Amino acid sequence: MSTQVTVIFDGEVFRPEVPVELPVNQRYVITIEETSAPENSIIVEPDSIEINPDSAEGKALQRIATIDFDDASQWITDGEIGKEIDVETINQRLKERGYQIQVSFTDS
């Protein structure tokens, strides 16, 4: 049987990033190969998905870690039909959060 597990070496032992179901007190052969994951990538468990921290998903995960859920302005977006959308303010907020995208809007 062969199982591939991503581990982190803490200077003394190799620690799997996800739980492994292997019999204990058995000998295993480990092949050590450096992963191609960038050092600053975000690992999402349990599937060990690597996410670029500069992607929209990466930035969203970083925001979640620091969000104040008592301040609804940080996580609720609301709008009303017929209400004018301030595209410049939206783009400024995105820029402040580190996004390199711009929202555009045309009347239809």
pLDDT digits 0-9 by tens, 25-45: 988 888 887 766 556 666 566
Domain of 38 in residue numbering reads as 7-96
How many percent of the chain have pLDDT more than 70? 74
Span 76-98, pLDDT tens digits? 667 778 888 788 888 888 888 77
106 inside domain: no
Q: With pLDDT > 90 as the criterion, what percentage of the chain qualifies?
A: 0
CB 21 within 8 A of CB 1: no
- The answer to whether residue 102 is domain-embedded is no
What is the count of structural domains for the chain? 1
pLDDT for res 21 = 84
Residue 108 in any domain: the answer is no
The 10 Å Cβ neighbour count of residue 22 is 11
Q: Closest Cα partner for 103 from 90, 30, 62, 22?
A: 90
Distances (CA, A) of 102 to 12, 93, 96: 47, 10, 12
Look at 16-30, 38-52, 60-74, 90-104 and tell me which has the smallest mean pLDDT.
38-52
